[in-house]
């Protein structure tokens, strides 16, 4: 073989050094191909629907928020007493009970 082929093969892998086990024995050094990513280190697969949802969440977080004083306007006009100018909704079954107590 030529020297160029030998150099190319040498660069195609990396060596993980041997380590010592808890019982004192030695593990062998391992060769790993260049570009190999162990299954434990690979990124978890996300479906296209999950990616779209994440993109929406990132967009919402990036939007500027309205100032606190302009964020909410009162939904109903407020009278001088502080109560709503409009009567609050009372379900019919409670109206009957309340009418009985007033009489």
Rounded to whole angstroms, the Cα distance separating 80 from 83 reads 7
- Count CA atoms closer than 13 A to 87's CA, side-chain side: 4
Q: What is the pLDDT of residue 80?
A: 55
Per the rule left: phi > 0, alpha: psi between -120 and 50, beta: everything else, 82 is: left
Upper half-sphere CA count for residue 91 (Cβ side, 13 Å): 2
pLDDT digits (tens, 9 = 90+) for 36-66: 888 888 999 999 999 999 999 988 888 777 6
For residue 85, pLDDT beyond 80: no
Q: What angle do CA 10, 16, 20 make, to 5 degrees?
A: 145
Instruction: Round to whole Å and give the CA distance between 28 and 92.
Output: 82
pLDDT tens per residue across span 69-83: 555 555 555 555 555
| 15 closest CA partner among 4, 31, 26, 3 | 31
């Amino acid at each position: 073989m030529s020297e160029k082929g030998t150099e190319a093969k040498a660069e195609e892998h990396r060596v993980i050094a041997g380590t010592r086990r808890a019982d004192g024995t030695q593990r062998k050094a391992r060769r790993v191909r260049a570009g190999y990513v162990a299954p434990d280190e690979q990124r978890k697969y996300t479906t296209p629907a999950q990616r779209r949802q994440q993109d929406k969440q990132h967009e919402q977080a990036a939007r500027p928020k309205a100032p606190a004083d302009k964020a909410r306007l009162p939904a109903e006009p407020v009278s001088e007493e502080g109560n709503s100018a409009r009567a609050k909704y009372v379900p019919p079954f409670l109206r009957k009970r309340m009418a009985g107590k007033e009489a």
